[in-house]
Amino acid sequence: MNCPICRRPNRPNAHFCAHCRAPLLLQNKYRVTGLIKTNDAVSIWLAEQTNLWNSRCIIFRFINPLESQAHAAIGVRVHLTHRALPKAIDLFEEGGYTNLITELVEGEALDARLRRVHTPVPEADILLWMEELCDALLYLETQPTL
């Protein structure tokens, strides 16, 4: 198996890359397959759930130790259920990091679509997206806060 970060080969069941030390397997069930984004606060990886027919998911690994309030906010996120929000699958600590696993929502990002088509988005599409966004925001507004 090649590391999705440095692209160098590793043993098939390695938990960390032998070359760059990037995580490859978390909790013996989430195999990292690619890096989506990283910054000072979080690394976001594409992964497969090896215990569920290799279904794809997203791993959010929070880089800095979290304050208790931030950790509680992630705990609240795990319990949110709305059709416009990716479902939280798992939340765990490993290697001193907090990891939030969510379902992967397939689709094209708006910025990628705009770069690809080079034309304005039809007003009907924008109105539909705004209705979905407002519905999700209303749902979030009604949820308990910290």
Tens place of pLDDT for every residue, the chain, 146 residues? Answer: 788 888 899 998 888 899 988 889 999 899 999 889 888 888 899 999 988 787 999 999 887 766 545 666 677 777 788 888 888 888 888 888 888 899 998 888 888 888 898 888 899 999 999 999 999 999 989 987 64
115 and 64, same structural domain? Answer: no
* Same-domain status, 46 and 63: yes
Regarding whether 115 and 72 lie in a shared domain, the answer is no
pTM: 0.79
Together in a domain, 98 and 120: no
CB 43 within 8 A of CB 63: yes
Q: What angle do CA 20, 22, 28 make, to 5 degrees?
A: 140
